[in-house]
Structure 1
């Protein structure tokens, strides 16, 4: 089953130690399609990715699930390929393929030997414009998706809680709707709905081609021009999304379920993303430094306090990903030790947050976090596919190659005052949702 949600946050942008680690080269076809090459000569293999600037947050009201539906439908037939033939050809040629959908983009990729690149480019370009949709195609796939939702969400208390968190974290923005969609709306998506969505969003000027591997720009450019450059440009694309109103109260979500074995607590706050931060505001970088300080593994503040010192929790952490087209979130999470009341865990977490707000972080903590984040970048280039994921997800939300490549410098410029200012701006009660996932027997 293909991935429903791919939330590769820009925590992964800590993948570059100095300028030109990825050494990307970029050009734009006449039809508006951006092409990015990331050379990687370690093995004679390439990863070929097409990113569409459309995700679940771009769906029409009442039509949730369309973006993810296309993650499935794109593997069906075109005017030139029978249903399922795309995947069979990739496998026959020793390749691997997949796709994923997020709130902000949908991506399709293949990893193949270099001499098979032209083949997958030809097929990917074909399904960009020649997808054949009929009732006979969509109805079986609708049932597959509904079953996927039952397996991943309806049968998982944690996933059910996450959906409910989204509905209260975002009061107005479509991030409140799950990427896979609501079941009752998936059931009602029509052939007309699907065809309209495809014709509107699937076009070269709304896509980014990223190729990573053992190939030169001189080799890639003619292939891109041959297969993608021949596709007519689509219409103008504008993401029309409602914004969030001011928040005035903190919110709580509680779920009790007999399948839960350990009580869990999550506290999330609305936070700026790379794209929504004001010009000159480096809070997304400051919050990434903070993430390392308070949630970066077994040596982090939160883990040491709640797990090692106070022995209240089995695990604890903090997660922040600014890789969103619109407003992001910053989240604390704690799994209580059995026998420890969730109220005690929540009180201890609140004490940690209060101490942060009162005292902030230290200069030593900031410097250690910066060193850790930048040092991690050295190893990114060794993994074929990491760079294409990072650059593709950035370009799909209208960031630039330069913003990705300059990430380490931005991290190194963060000061202690920047971190303390950012955390005090974000950790406000009215921006928060506290969610509890509890064992059924804990109900009073």
Structure 2
């Protein structure tokens, strides 16, 4: 028996076709051979006609684009997710000859193996435009961390497809915990929970960081301003549930005072505006207190009406800040810097807690907010309104004054 070449072995291991196929962004896959993308469109898992809440999502391409559009207000996240869809959908079409409705658990396992050794024709410098002839979706094999992230993104996408009624079942959810294949869905879930802090854990984290901030010599203005911003960021994110992309775009004028005409009770709300959607969320006393401390520490303005000053300020302060909006990368860097400081302070006495903090990112505070609200007995509808996670109808937010009052009361129970 003749020995196979190394290239043939590569194709056998990855499920590659005998003839190398050029990688294409998912928008071009419908025109690419073997054209199975449309043929497999109504696979075993496709929901019956009329069930999909996105009535115009008739094809996989429609569903893909609709999901990405839910991240129009988070361009960095949208680009990262698009990259994962380019890879997965290209592999699914060209190598597996399937559509989304035909994906099974074994396909997920096969894709994970493909990521460890992508087809040679799919590897190269991938920093060019997606429409260029020399575009490649991979530079080389992915690390375990990158593969975990890829599975997580694709898993979220399939969960959304089920939630809107495009698919019947989620192939990422293994029905039996002792399934013969690796249960990546369970493993990812277990990994993600390590970054969700309990109420006591978050308060401990915040208190340690505050001690660090208070210990800084006021004469070191740059260090003091940066540390105050780090403390404010984690407290404000945890008490509002904002995404890291949303926080840098908020100005003081977006925070407004409301008064209940019947009871006279006052409450605060904040407008979150994006390219396509504007929503209103509640701002509790803990979030306002964190904002007040931060602004006073930097000597910045505190009034809300007509104030275009952004909540997040550069280290030099408020002057010209409205012309230099910070980015979501600053939010990420500030949180990670805060984590490192807290780890250094905690590790000598509690190394296990310091290790737990190692997985904390800005998104951890969003999950923490939702988890604590759930434990406090807050209705899922209120949590969806606060976090802006309604998938079925993105134009349906707060519908009445009573619902706004209920949201404010729900968030008032969260004081972290």
Decide: shared fold, TM above 0.5: no
Select the structure that is richer in strand.
Answer: 1
**TM-score, with length taken from structure 2:** 0.30
Give the number of the structure whose residues are more often helix, by fraction: 2
Superposition TM-score, scaled by structure 1 size: 0.28
Larger radius of gyration: 2
